[in-house]
Structure 1
């Protein structure tokens, strides 16, 4: 994982260890009966590693998350050995050199992780903080290779994606960052014969929208306005307090609604509230009309723990992407759209239809 020591990465590592010790797999979709015969790798067969710019030990991160109510108290003692195993696989990327040098060094780290742990397949998942929008020059694959050797043409998320492809790993972006958006980055994956997927996991407000919006459409109830306010703390909240970083998130949060319902008034606002920690609250107000134009409203409040909602999805995406690697899938994985606000190469946003698409692919063999 890129961003492995963050709240989502730490909760994923600690959560997988807790599952191995008997905790129920709430939120892990791939543990549902529908996926029992698919041939997914067992949760107990996953090995964790990753890159992060900070070097705070996982044990300290787990203590912090337990103090905030994200993880159960006392879990750190139960999974101490698992955290120590993962700790040995975490790397702080070294700076310096060209962007091509950075890609090469991260790819070497991923290869070393694979060899050290005798792994069959590696999936790289970006769970780092959201980047501000980044303008990438429109170049072909050869032009990108030349540019990487001489100038800074890509943001860190895209360099991580290229490092994964150079190390023969699948890549999934859990964030709305630039990463695999440039065409040349995707071409790099195809040239290497590897799958990629994303972007911007839907864990809260947008998840609810992807269920409710198709309801209005199916019942022929015109929606006139849909406004939302999000309050969140933690590292992601601090990042999104920067309007430039929030821009990427807002675009992905609003895209699904417009594609499901058309032109709907209203906006999504994100406010950083530091004392909320890893918890988030979303308030939504929906204005719609019924028979003979009678105006009505729907309002809902979603309160949840972001990392606890996200971690089981990371486990799902690791297992499904490993299956894609095993099947020799090359290029985009639109069948993973069930998990994302802005799914790669897919315009489907209805959660139920996305689930059906995922299941059809998973059961296709």
Structure 2
């Protein structure tokens, strides 16, 4: 029998203050759940390519003017690792993506060192078939992996981002936590902000509610908005603002790759479709007739096609139709958003923000309560949030107790995950030098591993004293 609730226990020191708009000192970890998948591989390869000046940061909102000089970590400071249940090395996965046209030809060899460095930081995920460990034991193991990554690379902090395949919604009364919730609990216990880019449960599990609320950590999600729902969040407000009556809105998705296979499961598809349908109800005022269907078409590979048929009434009841076709490469659409979210959430953590981050609704189908549903309003909120992140501490808003997911010293292992020694980035973009260096000494996380809340009732989170890369 599993415990009725999952809590976390650890402490960490307050964040050192830095001048407004100053990027953090030291490397920042990005711990990816599903680290050998297409999205994660594209994000790692893309970060290295942009840092080296090989490609422009197309699709990265945080590399546009409103987000510069806001204190976000530079791309060159990002260090990648993660969990995955597969064993295909990142360099090989990148070659497969290049063969399929997802990555530019020649890019995997150009950034092979960065891919290999990230692959060396990937640890086995779970639970695997036959794994007899309890939920608590799995959370402890995942937490230990994250903390070791932070120590080994001498990180200033780390962000955990879930980009794994969609899992079915948990059944009522299930004793075991879903995998996504195990990883989310481990993120809190390791003292790390958490981002859920999938429709999977993650922190949205009742047994994690108290731990999330009392962790003192920022978190965001869920279900990244990259295609059909992105378009719906633009078109829905258009119909409402023009006072046009939408009678029906039906959609079909053709998906290949891992997403198509995962969403062939009706239970997993239900989790995905809920967000697609919710945006229409939120922007139109009520849900129109029609459903979303998802078909698995393996031959599409990493590409997806989304069709929408929108029936609406105009002046004097004149009936009209809008039909749209969206064809996109899912990994190329999602990867820049992963880098955006890691940078924004890391900065929010550095500024001691805690709890849900509704200002990041711009990136999600199913954002936190209270966030606007229309894309234009979401973007305005995001820009305002970036201004707060780059401003004086007094203007940041609700603040937590200043948790830091860092490490005490480091273990002398190689640091950094950027493109070491490469130069040539344009002024105002991310630095080019490789992120991080060697840790200054050994240390253990400054926090306990206990599975229950502390004596004050808080679900404290496991961080560690900040290590400085030399």
**Aligning the two structures, in what range does the TM-score lie when normalised by the shorter sequence?**
over 0.9
Matched residue, 1:357: 381
For 1:85-234, list aligned pairs within 5 A.
Answer: 85-93=117-125, 95-135=131-171, 137=173, 152-234=175-257
SS at 1:208 equivalent: helix
Pair member with larger Rg: 2
Q: How many residues align?
A: 352
Structure 1 residue 96 displacement after superposition: 3.5
Match of 2:329 among 300, 305, 311: 305
* Contact 1:186–1:331 (Cα < 8 Å) also in 2: no
Using a 3 Å threshold, how does the CA distance of structure 1 residues 330 and 21 change in structure 2: closer, same or farther? Answer: same
Cα distance, 1:347–1:38 mapped onto 2, change above 3 Å: closer
Answering whether residue 35 of structure 2 is matched by residue 12 of structure 1, we say no
Give 1:37 shift: 2.5
Matched ranges for 1:49-68 at <5 A: 49-68=81-100
TM superposition shift of 1:59: 1.0
Q: CA deviation at 1:347?
A: 4.6
1:186 to partner: Cα distance: 3.2
Q: Which residue matches 1:339?
A: 363
- Kept in 2, the 8 Å contact 1:2–1:52? The answer is yes
Q: Is the 8 A contact 2:371 2:378 kept in 1?
A: no
The answer to whether the 8 A contact 1:206-1:341 is kept is: yes
Q: Secondary structure at the match of 1:5?
A: coil
Offset of residue 88 of structure 1: 1.4
Structure 1 counterpart SS, 2:316: helix
2:273 is aligned with 1:250? yes
Whether the 8 Å CA contact 1:136–1:153 is kept in 2: the answer is no
Deviation of 1:65 after TM superposition, in Å, equals 0.4
User: What TM-score results when the alignment is normalised by the length of structure 1?
Assistant: 0.94
Residues in 1 aligned to 2:143 and 2:369: alpha-carbon distance in whole angstroms:
26
- Contact conserved, 1:337 with 1:346, CA < 8 A, in 2? no
CA shift digits 1:102-139 (9 cap, x unpaired): 000100100011111111111000000001010355xx
Match status 1:293 vs 2:293: no
Q: Does the CA-based 8 Å contact 1:99-1:152 persist in structure 2?
A: no
The equivalent residue for 2:305 is 281
Give ranges in structure 2 of 5+ residues lacking alignment: 1-31, 392-470
Structure 2 residue aligned with 1:146: none
- Two-structure CA RMSD over aligned residues (Å): 1.2
Residues in 1 aligned to 2:307 and 2:213: alpha-carbon distance in whole angstroms:
41
Instruction: State the secondary structure of the residue aligned to 1:47.
Output: strand
Tell me by how many angstroms 1:264 deviates: 0.5
- Contact 1:59–1:83 (Cα < 8 Å) also in 2: yes
Cα distance in structure 2, aligned partners of 1:152 and 1:84: 38
Alpha-carbon distance in structure 2 between the residues aligned to 1:48 and 1:346 = 32
Query: Deviations along 1:310-364, whole A, 9 cap, x unmatched?
Result: 0000000000000110111111111110000000223521001001111112212
Q: What is the aligned partner in structure 2 of residue 140 from structure 1? A: none
Q: Does 1:21 align with 2:21?
A: no
Contact 2:306 2:326 in 1 (8 A): yes
> 2:327, 2:170 → 1: CA distance?
31
Which of 335, 338, 347 pairs up with 1:314?
A: 338
* 1:262-283 C-alpha deviation (Å, 9 max, x unpaired): 1301111100001000000011
Contact kept? 2:66, 2:386, Cα under 8 Å: no
CA 1:347–1:324 in structure 2 vs 1: closer, same or farther (change >3 Å)? closer
- Listed as ranges, the gaps of 5+ residues in structure 1 are 138-150
| Aligned counterparts of 1:112 and 1:346: Cα–Cα separation in 2 | 36
SS, match of residue 170 in structure 2: coil
CA spacing shift, 1:333–1:136, aligned 2, 3 Å: farther
Counterpart-to-counterpart distance in 2, 1:50 and 1:136 = 29
Structure with greater proportional helix content: 1
Q: After alignment, is 89-98 or 157-166 more displaced?
A: 89-98
